[in-house]
Chains A and B, each alone.
Chain A
Amino acid sequence: MLTVSKYVFLDLLKNRSILVYTAVLAILSFTLLGLDGNSAKGLLSLLNITLLFVPVITTLFSAIYFFNSLEFIELLLSQPVKRTGILLSEYAGMALSLSAAFVVGVGAPLMVLLPIGASFVLILTGVLLTFIFTSIGLLIFVISRDKTRGIGAAIIVSLFFTLLFDGLMMAFIFSFSDYPIEKAVVGMISLNPVDLARILMLLQLDVAVLMGYSGALFKDFLGSSAGSIYSVVCMLLWIVAPLMLALRIFRKKDL
């Protein structure tokens, strides 16, 4: 199993797309952080890039890669190895190499130019998002019948989480603003890993303004470390849940 992981990992490191992804991230990070000496502004721009690029690229790339390696997976399955083992090792190799790309592309410039707490949190959220959306990409691969549909699904799912979800959320908040919806809002946020990542960063950058709002939501949940812990736990669940589901389906799947 470890051998398969290693093989996938090394194969991906040689992959041109991953290299381009790393290079683009690195160039963006250096330019944004070096811009007019205002590092906090650069960090914010990097946050936006992380929240937009990482989900879309990770989901798409992982789905495409899994579909492309379908024949390789079939070949492996003709050997006496477990189906779950193969899928897990494919997942591990994929998630690790994309995380490595993110850490090199965004993490390294951050550590060099802006070594503060918020930067570490940004790297952590980036890595968590990579794991989450690789796991979603895997689920899409397992469910979809062919490559075209899979890619379509990957695009829709990633755009749903990055754009559409917030729109729905905003509509919900504005239409029910007269009601005590704070708890419901926190519940809804947990349904979107991108929002969880954003809140994790918000707690680093905008505590001062969040403390300005009265109400239990911002004081007790977002104001304390409980908010951060809750976000991280939810994100970990977001890694595990799609992965487990994918494994279950793959075990019985007719290849």
Chain B
Amino acid sequence: MIRILTILSFLMLPAAVSATVIRTGPDSLLQHVLDRARPGDTILIAPGIYKQHDIVVRTSVTIIGENYPVFDGEDKHQLFIIAADRVSISGITVQQTGRSSMVDMAGIRLQNVSRVTVINCRVINTTYGIYLQNSRNCIITNNEIKSSATDELQSGNGVHAWKSDSLLIRANNISGHRDGIYFEFVTGSVITGNNSQNNVRYGLHFMFSHNDTYIRNTFRHNGAGVAVMYSKHVVMVSNNFEEHWGDASYGILLKDISDSRIEFNRFAHNTIGIFMEGSNRIHIMANAFTANGWAMRVQASCESNTIENNNFRENSFDVATNGTLMLNTYRNNYWDKYEGYDLNKDGTGDVPYHPVSVYSILSEKIPTSMILYRSFLTNIIDQAEKIMPSIIPDQLRDDTPKMKKWKL
């Protein structure tokens, strides 16, 4: 029986392959063309400006734009709504969706679909760029998603995914939205090679999204780089976090995260590299923290985290905390402020390093005292505290600090 079915399906295959190619231009309505198309058809869209909106794709077609035809929502309308599985859309420009407080206006919306791909599209000045609702196995790749949001309330997200699974978000350039990429109840997805910058709130935002991975992304100059909240088993590897400045700015903000990995990332010129709150069993390994205000801020509500084999260089303060309870492990890190010695020449310092500097504690209590930072007097206080720790938390220490920096 199975064999017959196989043979039958092979006989059917040519019919699928011989799907037609339909050409269309700015003069005809794309909606009509789509409604008449059969599954498997390819629709080629000629260059030009299309003042058409709320285009609903209900059949599994391939939409290809030639030389980026422009779909303009005239600041009032949504543009593409994809409501069929296996749709592929590529090479088009979608712009000016406008804003609404009733609907989340999206450039390209994916509704309850699977195996949809969005490739090489330009999404310009939309409230939400690409919006995935309850979708599975979709691929969003090589898109240029640009907007110019100025405040959080009036704007949307570049790539917005809600209640989805197994997504691949790859090599997109996202800028000027509220969040570059937003995940809510999204599981088993991969975000890789994206460039998310100049977003008002976060470069990447996770809410209740488990088992996700993001690797080799660059987050630059967002309100904060990545916010990971209320999620489990998140893997964060080889990302760049740069230039997140401000009094609530972080490279990574971890809030109630557990069983995750942060490895081989670079944090440079952020006000705070990693901010952790209520987070457990996170493995922070082989990251480079360079020239940040605070490399890490680990609140006392964090437990069983391991921070090892990292490089801490040129940071104003290495670690800050808000209590005396220390339930995390620091080991084998390189700290450029370490002044200990290594008598047996095994590459590990013989005296422990205390990453919390006394002045970071003082300035936290009285921010104004920061104006005396790096003066001769504060250097004396720092030295005195190193010899006789009384203010800094004695338990927070690296017992095996490295003498030479790791090659990362």
Do A208 and B366 touch (CB < 8 A)?
A: no
In this assembly, does B371 line the interface, its C-beta being within 8 Å of a C-beta of chain A? yes
In this assembly, does B245 line the interface, its C-beta being within 8 Å of a C-beta of chain A? yes
Chain B residues contacting A177 (CB-CB under 8 Å) are: 365-366, 368-369
How far in angstroms is the closest Cβ of chain A from B268? 9
User: Which of A36-44, A97-105, A119-127 binds B?
Assistant: A36-44
Do A208 and B377 touch (CB < 8 A)?
A: no
In this assembly, does B16 line the interface, its C-beta being within 8 Å of a C-beta of chain A? no
Chain B residues contacting A186 (CB-CB under 8 Å) are: 371
Tell which of B271, B336, B369, B376 touches A209, judged by Cβ atoms closer than 8 Å. Answer: B271
Tell which of A38, A44, A212 touches B374, judged by Cβ atoms closer than 8 Å. Answer: A44
Tell which of B247, B314, B336, B375 touches A195, judged by Cβ atoms closer than 8 Å. Answer: B375
How far in angstroms is the closest Cβ of chain B from A94? 25
Query: In residues 356-371 of chain B, which contact A (Cβ within 8 Å)?
Result: 363, 365-371
Distance A210 CA – B371 CA, assembled complex (angstroms):
9
Task: Kindly report which residue of chain A lies nearest to residue B317, judged by CB atoms.
Answer: A209
Tell which of B314, B365, B367, B376 touches A218, judged by Cβ atoms closer than 8 Å. Answer: B367
Tell which of B272, B316, B366 touches A206, judged by Cβ atoms closer than 8 Å. Answer: B316
In this assembly, does B270 line the interface, its C-beta being within 8 Å of a C-beta of chain A? yes
> A161-187 toward B: CB 8 Å interface, digit per residue (1/0)?
011001101100110010001100110
Do A212 and B368 touch (CB < 8 A)?
A: no
Distance A41 CA – B339 CA, assembled complex (angstroms):
12
Task: Kindly report which residue of chain A lies nearest to residue B337, judged by CB atoms.
Answer: A41
In this assembly, does A64 line the interface, its C-beta being within 8 Å of a C-beta of chain B? no
In this assembly, does B349 line the interface, its C-beta being within 8 Å of a C-beta of chain A? no
Task: Kindly report which residue of chain B lies nearest to residue A206, judged by CB atoms.
Answer: B316
In this assembly, does B310 line the interface, its C-beta being within 8 Å of a C-beta of chain A? no
In this assembly, does A79 line the interface, its C-beta being within 8 Å of a C-beta of chain B? no
> B359-398 toward A: CB 8 Å interface, digit per residue (1/0)?
0000101111111111111110000000000000000000
Do B374 and A206 touch (CB < 8 A)?
A: yes
Q: A40-B314, A170-B369, A173-B372 are in contact. Are A48 and B379 (CB under 8 A)?
A: yes
In this assembly, does A47 line the interface, its C-beta being within 8 Å of a C-beta of chain B? yes
In this assembly, does A189 line the interface, its C-beta being within 8 Å of a C-beta of chain B? yes
Q: A198-B375, A206-B374, A207-B245 are in contact. Are A214 and B367 (CB under 8 A)?
A: yes
Do A208 and B247 touch (CB < 8 A)?
A: no
In this assembly, does B292 line the interface, its C-beta being within 8 Å of a C-beta of chain A? yes
Distance A38 CA – B294 CA, assembled complex (angstroms):
18
In this assembly, does B246 line the interface, its C-beta being within 8 Å of a C-beta of chain A? yes
Do B249 and A211 touch (CB < 8 A)?
A: yes
Do B271 and A211 touch (CB < 8 A)?
A: yes
Tell which of A52, A166, A205, A213 touches B372, judged by Cβ atoms closer than 8 Å. Answer: A166
Do A208 and B269 touch (CB < 8 A)?
A: yes
| Residues of chain A at interface, number, CB under 8 A | 42
Tell which of B249, B368, B374, B379 touches A181, judged by Cβ atoms closer than 8 Å. Answer: B368
In this assembly, does A28 line the interface, its C-beta being within 8 Å of a C-beta of chain B? no
Chain B residues contacting A212 (CB-CB under 8 Å) are: 246-247, 249, 271-272, 293-294
In this assembly, does B186 line the interface, its C-beta being within 8 Å of a C-beta of chain A? no
Q: A206-B373, A212-B293 are in contact. Are A173 and B272 (CB under 8 A)?
A: no
Q: A41-B336, A211-B247 are in contact. Are A169 and B270 (CB under 8 A)?
A: no
Query: In residues 13-61 of chain A, which contact B (Cβ within 8 Å)?
Result: 38, 40-41, 44, 47-48, 51-52
Do B293 and A208 touch (CB < 8 A)?
A: yes
Distance A199 CA – B371 CA, assembled complex (angstroms):
7
Tell which of A52, A167, A185, A199 touches B368, judged by Cβ atoms closer than 8 Å. Answer: A185
Chain A residues contacting B375 (CB-CB under 8 Å) are: 51, 166, 195, 198
Distance A163 CA – B369 CA, assembled complex (angstroms):
16
> B302-322 toward A: CB 8 Å interface, digit per residue (1/0)?
000000000001101100000
Most B C-beta atoms less than 10 A away, residue of A163, A207, A212, A219: A212
Distance A218 CA – B247 CA, assembled complex (angstroms):
10
Distance A40 CA – B365 CA, assembled complex (angstroms):
27
Distance A48 CA – B378 CA, assembled complex (angstroms):
11
In this assembly, does A245 line the interface, its C-beta being within 8 Å of a C-beta of chain B? no
Q: A41-B336, A51-B376 are in contact. Are A211 and B371 (CB under 8 A)?
A: no
How far in angstroms is the closest Cβ of chain B from A129? 14
Q: A181-B368, A213-B367, A217-B368 are in contact. Are A52 and B376 (CB under 8 A)?
A: yes
Do A218 and B370 touch (CB < 8 A)?
A: yes
In this assembly, does A202 line the interface, its C-beta being within 8 Å of a C-beta of chain B? yes
> A141-163 toward B: CB 8 Å interface, digit per residue (1/0)?
00000000000000000000011
Distance A217 CA – B373 CA, assembled complex (angstroms):
14
Distance A182 CA – B368 CA, assembled complex (angstroms):
6
How far in angstroms is the closest Cβ of chain B from A88? 32
Chain A residues contacting B314 (CB-CB under 8 Å) are: 38, 40-41
Chain A residues contacting B374 (CB-CB under 8 Å) are: 44, 47-48, 198, 201-202, 205-206
> A199-237 toward B: CB 8 Å interface, digit per residue (1/0)?
101100111111111110111001000000000000000
Can you list 16 contacts pairing A with B, beta carbon distance less than 8 Å? A38-B314, A47-B374, A166-B375, A166-B377, A174-B366, A177-B368, A182-B368, A186-B371, A198-B374, A201-B374, A210-B370, A211-B249, A211-B293, A212-B247, A214-B247, A218-B367
| Chain A residues at the B interface, C-beta cutoff of 8 Å | 38, 40-41, 44, 47-48, 51-52, 162-163, 166-167, 169-170, 173-174, 177, 181-182, 185-186, 189, 195, 198-199, 201-202, 205-215, 217-219, 222
Given contacts A209-B316, A211-B245, 14 further A-B contacts (CB under 8 A): A38-B313, A51-B375, A52-B376, A170-B377, A173-B368, A173-B369, A177-B366, A181-B368, A189-B371, A205-B374, A206-B373, A208-B293, A209-B294, A218-B367
